[in-house]
Amino acid sequence: MLEALQAASPNRFKGIRHIVTWDRDPHVESREVEGVLSTAAFRAGAKILARMGLSLDTICCWPQLPEMVDFARAVPEVTIIMNHLGGLNRTDRFAGRDDEVMSAWRAGMAELAKCPNVLLKLGGHGMPRFGFDWHLRDKPVGSEELAQQIEPLMSSCIEQFGPGRCMFESNFPVDKVSFSHPVLYNAFKRFSQGYSASERAALFHDTATRAYRIAV
């Protein structure tokens, strides 16, 4: 199938996206079975991607981050692009537990950042599961407030991975429930003003072109 996809789109087909989210709470959306990252079949598939020069986009639930670290270490030859800030969730069974949840999430992301084959997409926080109230407001959030509110999450991730392994992410139309696309990217611009020109270039452009092997 991968060979057929490459033949159909030799210049645009760069990899696949496989969501592996699983949680014991039925209120938390699960897209995979428990422990899928440890299975021989899944890891064999990742090795095939690497052999063909393809990347793996994925997203897990944040409690799965230790499993993701083990997976990344088991297949260091494949480029893994982690989506949506590592699957942070502050709703359902995680609601009202910020001290515990944020500490565990940061620790998991710090370990994942030690895997050089993992890159990170900075986005997806418009989804209600991130625990913000933007989707409930009568007046939409503006880019200045948005930049201020996402700063702790974004800065924590960039500090661990470095700008050269991070890229700003559009998660539309899903994030449209919370803000518009222009508001999001204006927030990214505001947030990143303190970074150097080369660091901003990485966040907005260079990391993505390298990750997806895009000729510019």
φ/ψ of 17, rounded to 5, equals -120, 120
Rounded-to-integer distance, Cα 140 and Cα 175, Å:
12
pLDDT level of residue 215 (50, 70, 90 thresholds): confident
What is the pLDDT, as a whole number, of residue 175?
97
**Do 32 and 100 form a contact (C-beta atoms < 8 A)?**
no
**The pLDDT of residue 216 is above 90:** no
Of 23-32, 160-169, 179-188, where does mean pLDDT reach its minimum?
23-32
| Structural domain spans, the chain | 14-211
What value does the mean pLDDT take over residues 154-181?
A: 97
What value does the mean pLDDT take over residues 138-143?
A: 97
End-to-end Cα spacing for the chain: 28
Q: Which CATH number fits domain 14-211: 3.20.20.140, 1.50.10.20, 3.30.1330.30, 3.40.1280.10?
A: 3.20.20.140
What is the pLDDT, as a whole number, of residue 27?
87
Rounded-to-integer distance, Cα 35 and Cα 19, Å:
13
Rounded-to-integer distance, Cα 127 and Cα 214, Å:
28
What value does the mean pLDDT take over residues 155-169?
A: 98
For the stretch 16-55, pLDDT in tens is 999 999 999 998 889 999 999 999 999 999 999 999 999 9
* DSSP letter string, the chain: -HHHHHHH-TTT--EEEEE----SSTTS---S-TTGGGSHHHHHHHHHHHHTT-EEEEE--GGGHHHHHHHHHH-TTS-EEE-HHHH---SGGGTT-HHHHHHHHHHHHHHHHT-TTEEEEE--TTSGGG--SGGG-SSPPPHHHHHHHHHHHHHHHHHHH-GGGEEE---TTGGGGT--HHHHHHHHHHHGGGS-HHHHHIIIIIHHHHHTT---
What is the pLDDT, as a whole number, of residue 63?
97
**The pLDDT of residue 185 is above 90:** yes
**The pLDDT of residue 184 is above 90:** yes
**What percentage of the chain reaches a pLDDT higher than 70?**
100
For the stretch 52-101, pLDDT in tens is 999 999 999 999 999 999 999 999 999 999 999 999 999 999 999 999 99
What is the pLDDT, as a whole number, of residue 6?
95
For the stretch 111-129, pLDDT in tens is 999 999 999 999 999 999 9
Largest CA distance in the chain: 50
Q: What residues contact residue 98 under an 8 Å CB cut-off, 6+ apart?
A: 90, 131
Tokens for 41, please give them.
């079949």
b/e sequence 106-121, b meaning 16+ C-beta within 10 Å = bebbbbbbebebbbbb
**What's the whole-model pTM score?**
0.96
